Amino acid sequence: MSSNTSRIAKNTLALYLRQIIVMLVSLYTVRVVLEILGAEDYGIYNVVSGLVVLFTFLNVAMTNAIQRFLSFALGQNDMEKARDVYSASFVIHALIAVLVIILAQTVGLWFFHTWLNIPPERQEAAFVVYQFSIVAAVIGIFQIPYGATIVAHEKMSFFAMLSIIDVALRLGIVFLLPVVIFDSLVTYAFLLCVSRVILFLIRKIYCNKTFEIAHFRFCKDKKLFRQLLNFSGWTVYGGLVNVSRNQGLNVLINVFHGVIVNAAMGIAGQVSSAVHMFVAYLQAAFNPQIVKSYSARDHVYFMRLIFTASKLSFYMLLFLVLPLYINADFVLRIWLGTVPEYVVVFTQVILLFLLTETIIEPLRMSIQATGDIKKYQLIQSSFIFAVLPLALLFLWIGFSPVWVLVAKTGLNVLSFVWHMFFLGERIKLPVWDFIRKVIVPIFIITGISSFITILLHGLITDGWSSLIASCVISTISIGCLVYWVGLNKKEKYLLQTWTKKIIRVGR
């Protein structure tokens, strides 16, 4: 168990430190791309590429299946089974790629020409962007088995290095865009597609050279194919409605408000993605251990991981969200110069959504570990799908597009409450212990730290002084409250262990 804790600490540290670089470069590239393309073309790219993502719901489902089965096999030290899972996943993903191409070039094209609200003079460029987005999506499908293999083996330092390579490629694109003589929007889509090819090749070469299981062989185990497809079959519905929620909302906003508001949604999404990556990497370090502990039937450690991952994920995100939420207007003006309408409020609401989502993720992974997900997917997906009719209703009767994200956040809170009681029945999660040890401390820490930070923030009018003071005050208040209220003795020991490792790395 100590070696598992050490591995989580090492993986989290590697990912967290690299993410600082990734976030800064990502935010810089978004600003420059927005300046070069303009709000209209930036909005066109977001809505067109988002339409393609709608057809990758099968890919999302299979990602969960492969990661679960690989981690489960490795947890039982069954290398032959793990290699069969790896090989079978390639066959399945090839079929998914063919299906995505068919859907994108039929239903997708019909929707593109019939419903998307794109200025007539940019229709041709948008069509080319759509085709490049399809190519990028197909490449993404084939790289899923490699990514799942890396995560299952807990090689998070390489996983983090891929993020640095990704932002470096994006930075290169930013430097190339101003000197190209072709249409900037089309060139941007083409170069992003090229970057996907490069990342795919890097993953492939690394996995083939590093992991024993990462070599394709014809898998004759029909039972394994059925297990993978059965597991993914119940997540297809979940994947479909999840992608529909994220990208469908973007399409609805486009239909009712046009590409300028799509640009605002895209910018807010970039901010939330950069912030969420910090906690996503922490959860990526925990997830394989959650599956492996269930596979090894270590129920005590399994529950401890769920509790700890839920709390630490929220606390880590709160460190970033609180000062950013309070100073959103100032930070966005410093970042973008001119802030498009709705960007500030979109960003604030999405940050609140992330806080709810980050507690749900460890609960979601725990049910994925069991493999029995039929009932879970049917009910959980209904929560997700309900956002679309609500958003359509709000937009139809003339509400602000902000209410689309408010509805999304509110339904996520209801989903979280349902998760707790469902897992109490399914995996014997001690619900009231979870509320007492996780939810109550989260409310106390968030309430007190927010009150202190907002109160002192209101006394300072200068932008930079207010931002710096908010960051310092929120960090100190959250840090002290987390240590004294939010952590139990074992978690304090874990934190002390991680701190010692950071000091050793610094030396």
Sequence-separated (6 or more) residues with CB below 8 Å from residue 463 = 327, 330, 334
Assigned token pair, 336: 């973008």
| Closest to 321 (Cα-Cα) out of 440, 444, 453 | 453
| Residue recorded with tokens 């709390």 | 311
**φ, ψ dihedrals at 182, nearest 5°:** -90, 180
Would you say residue 434 has pLDDT above 80? Answer: yes
Q: Are 7 and 494 in contact (CB under 8 A)?
A: no
Task: Tokens 């050279």: give the residue.
Answer: 209
Q: Indicate the pLDDT class of residue 499, thresholds 50, 70 and 90.
A: low
- Average pLDDT over the chain reads 81
Assign 506 a pLDDT band (cuts: 50, 70, 90): very low
pLDDT tens readout for residues 164-177: 888 889 889 988 88
Tens digit of each residue's pLDDT (9 = 90 or more) over 91-118: 878 888 888 889 889 988 898 888 788 8
Q: What is the pLDDT of residues 199-219, one digit of tens each?
A: 999 999 998 888 887 777 776
Cα-to-chain-centroid distance, residue 439: 22
Q: Does residue 447 register a pLDDT over 90?
A: yes
Distances in Å between the alpha carbon of 380 and those of 73, 311, 418? 27, 22, 8
Element (H, E) at 397: none
Q: Which residue has the higher pLDDT, 410 or 507?
A: 410
Determine contact, residues 306/362, Cβ cutoff 8 Å: yes
The predicted pLDDT at position 59 comes to 59
Does 191 score more than 90 pLDDT? Answer: yes
Position 410 scores a pLDDT of: 92
Amino acid at residue number 96: I
> How far apart, in Å, are the Cα atoms of 301 and each of 67, 292, 305, 335, 422?
20, 10, 6, 43, 20
pLDDT grade, residue 3 (50/70/90)?
low
Select, from the ranges 255-269, 313-327, 462-476, the one with the highest average predicted confidence (pLDDT).
Answer: 313-327
For residue 231, the model assigns a pLDDT of: 64
Residue 70 has pLDDT above 70, yes or no: yes
> Residue 473 corresponds to which tokens in the numbers above?
């005050």
Q: What is the pTM of this model?
A: 0.72
181 pLDDT above the threshold of 60: yes
Give me the pLDDT at residue 336, please: 82
Does pLDDT of 1 surpass 60? no
pLDDT of residue 334: 85
Letter for the amino acid at 127? F
**Mean pLDDT along residues 9-20:** 58
